[in-house]
Amino acid sequence: MYAIVKTGGKQFKAAKDDVLIVEKLEGEPGTAVELSEVLMVVDGETTTVGAPFVKGARVRCEIVRQGKSKKIEAFNYKPKKNERKRWGHRQPQTHLKITEVQAGN
């Protein structure tokens, strides 16, 4: 059994005992989180598709760790103007371990 969930503007396939890396969610490691925006649930031969979400479906997770992604570096340059600008960015992210997938109605 697995579900397609939406969090942080992205969609993820979530099955029991999977670890997902998603956009930052508030909470300390060990905290339980429930994702309620479930777009689709597949249970063996049965597939339930939501419009837009599956009613009553939930995915329960536990926060494993909070961290940052790899650094993205950017550079602006304008020739003959002596204009150069360099910067970097590390997006905060949360690692979730899926503990349970509940199918809806």
Instruction: Identify the CA nearest to 23 among candidates 99, 91, 100, 97.
Output: 91
CB-neighbour burial class of residue 94 (10 A; exposed 0-12, middle 13-18, buried 19+): buried
Model-level pTM? 0.82
Residue 76 CA to residue 87 CA, distance in Å, equals 9
Q: What is the pLDDT of residues 80-90, one digit of tens each?
A: 999 999 999 99
Specify the number of domains making up the chain.
1
Identify the domain containing residue 16 by its residue range: 2-102
Query: Tokens in use for 26?
Result: 């508030």
In the chain, the DSSP E strands lie at: 2-7, 10-15, 19-23, 32-35, 38-43, 46-49, 58-68, 72-78, 83-89, 92-102
pLDDT classification of 105: cutoffs 50, 70, 90: low
Write down the residue that tokens 């309620």 correspond to. Answer: 36
pLDDT in tens, 24-36: 999 999 999 999 9
